[in-house]
């Protein structure tokens, strides 16, 4: 599995827009000739679209294998940031490693094909003054296929940074493209556009607005769901061992959840609440062991960095 942080901007596209404008020159950049290819992509999800509603996507693209995208928070200037995990295998079933990473979102529900897209992609790669690749700009003409027929069609332009390129490039290229005829920002992923309103529905943990007239049940649900949501969102990163700080955040969520269950016990089924607190304690203990090891390792590295060079190498 290969992983990287995808940072891109999606723009609406009027019919008159032509990607070949980039070949005419862009101050500070050199553009490669426009390349065209056709992509056939099948997105997989549960029947109630849990992955997409949580901001994730799992796809198989012919010739490229499997790709899982997990949300990484919003970027500057309308940028979409996602952790992209690429699995090169070409099997007909989603890789077990990918399914493990979405355990918290699907929670046992089977993952099946939900939509098929055929995309005519025109792409231009941009290089900096030293010849280094900076970004890729693509113009996607997307067809949504149902039973072998085109059920819908849309078009979008994406600007994606190459790993290591400065984020400021996104804003610069976006401004240039919009001046050249591209439209406004559209953060909607392709699968969401293709699947329609069902893909835009809230998650199972949708928090209700609290008003002076809200009843106790609403307040209790919101309190518990806010911590559960944090645990679900952190689960994949915990499994990847991606960031020690994620362990700390997950521990905070477990402590908050156990505290809320204790405080709200008079409003809950006591047997259920006590049983859940006990199981959460097990999770908190496991996270605590990992967190303690992370803290110890960080201290050792800090202390080692202060040693004389000869001792530090040892």
173 in any annotated domain: yes
Shared-domain flag, residues 128 and 231: no
Residue 98: CATH number of its domain: 2.40.320.10
First-to-last C-alpha distance (Å) of the chain:
33
pLDDT on residue 312: 54
The whole-angstrom separation of Cα 72 and Cα 272 is 34
Shared-domain flag, residues 156 and 263: no
Q: What are the residue ranges of helices labelled H in 148-208?
A: 168-179, 190-195
Rounded to 5°, the CA angle 104-106-107 comes to 65
Shared-domain flag, residues 111 and 242: no
What is the DSSP track for 76-145? GGG-EEEEEEEE----SS--HHHHHHTHHHHTTPPPEEEEEEEEEEEEEEEE-TTS-EEEEEEEEEEEEE
From first to last of the 314 residues of the chain, give the pLDDT tens digit. 898 889 999 999 888 888 888 877 677 888 888 999 999 999 999 999 999 999 999 999 988 899 999 998 776 667 888 999 999 877 889 999 999 999 999 999 999 999 999 999 999 999 988 889 999 999 999 999 998 899 999 999 999 999 888 888 888 889 888 888 888 988 899 999 999 999 999 999 988 888 889 999 999 999 999 999 999 999 998 888 877 888 888 999 999 999 999 999 999 999 999 999 999 999 988 888 877 777 777 777 787 777 776 665 55
Shared-domain flag, residues 277 and 150: no
Which residue, of 146, 166, 198, is where some domain finishes?
198
Which residue, of 166, 198, 230, is where some domain finishes?
198
207 in any annotated domain: no
For residue 254, give both structure tokens. Answer: 């477990």
Query: What backbone torsions phi and psi does residue 153 show, to the nearest 5 degrees?
Result: -155, 140
Shared-domain flag, residues 166 and 20: yes
pLDDT on residue 44: 98
**How many other CB atoms are found less than 10 A from the CB of residue 40?**
14
Shared-domain flag, residues 69 and 188: yes
pTM (two decimals)? 0.88
Shared-domain flag, residues 220 and 259: yes
- Answer for the pair 243, 214: CB distance below 8 angstroms, yes or no: no
pLDDT on residue 82: 93
The whole-angstrom separation of Cα 245 and Cα 227 is 17
For residue 222, give both structure tokens. Answer: 């919101």
Residue 55: give the domain boundaries: 2-198
Using DSSP, state whether 7 is helix, strand or coil.
Answer: strand
209 in any annotated domain: no
The whole-angstrom separation of Cα 78 and Cα 175 is 12
The whole-angstrom separation of Cα 202 and Cα 156 is 24
Shared-domain flag, residues 186 and 277: no
205 in any annotated domain: no
For residue 141, give both structure tokens. Answer: 């003409």
For residue 211, what is the DSSP state? -
- Answer for the pair 94, 111: CB distance below 8 angstroms, yes or no: yes
pLDDT on residue 9: 92
pLDDT on residue 110: 96
pLDDT on residue 274: 95
pLDDT on residue 76: 65
Which residue, of 167, 198, 229, is where some domain finishes?
198
41 in any annotated domain: yes
Shared-domain flag, residues 104 and 140: yes
For residue 181, give both structure tokens. Answer: 């005829």
204 in any annotated domain: no
- Answer for the pair 167, 14: CB distance below 8 angstroms, yes or no: no
Shared-domain flag, residues 13 and 156: yes
Domain count, the chain: 2
20 in any annotated domain: yes
Shared-domain flag, residues 24 and 152: yes
For residue 200, give both structure tokens. Answer: 């835009």
Shared-domain flag, residues 183 and 244: no
211 in any annotated domain: no
């Amino acid at each position: 599995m290969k992983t990287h942080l995808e940072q891109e901007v999606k723009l609406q596209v009027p019919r008159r827009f032509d990607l070949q404008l980039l070949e005419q020159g862009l101050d500070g950049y050199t553009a490669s000739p426009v390349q065209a290819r056709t992509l056939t992509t099948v997105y997989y999800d549960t029947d109630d679209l849990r992955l997409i509603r949580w901001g994730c996507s799992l796809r198989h693209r012919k010739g490229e294998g499997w790709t899982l995208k997990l949300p990484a928070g919003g970027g500057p200037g309308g940028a979409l940031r996602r952790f992209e995990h690429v699995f090169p295998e070409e099997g007909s079933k989603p890789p077990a490693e990918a399914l493990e990473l979405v355990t918290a979102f699907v929670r046992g529900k089977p993952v099946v094909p939900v939509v098929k897209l055929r995309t005519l992609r025109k792409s231009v790669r941009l290089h900096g003054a030293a010849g280094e690749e900076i970004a890729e700009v693509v113009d996607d003409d997307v067809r949504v296929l149902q039973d072998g027929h085109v059920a819908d069609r849309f078009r979008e332009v994406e600007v994606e940074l190459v790993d290591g390129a400065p984020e400021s490039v996104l804003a610069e290229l976006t401004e240039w493209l919009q001046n050249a005829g591209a439209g406004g920002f559209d953060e909607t992923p392709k699968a969401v556009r293709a699947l329609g309103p069902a893909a835009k529905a809230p998650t199972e943990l949708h928090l209700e607005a609290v008003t002076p007239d809200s009843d106790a049940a609403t307040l209790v649900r919101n309190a518990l769901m806010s911590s559960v949501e944090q645990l679900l969102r952190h689960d994949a990163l915990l499994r990847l061992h991606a960031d020690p700080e994620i362990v700390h955040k997950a521990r905070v969520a477990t402590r908050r959840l156990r505290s809320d269950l204790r405080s709200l016990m008079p409003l809950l089924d006591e047997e259920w609440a006590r049983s859940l607190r006990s199981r959460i304690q097990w999770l908190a203990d496991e996270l605590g062991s990992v967190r303690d090891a992370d803290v110890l390792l960080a201290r050792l590295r800090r202390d080692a960095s202060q040693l004389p060079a000869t001792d530090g190498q040892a």
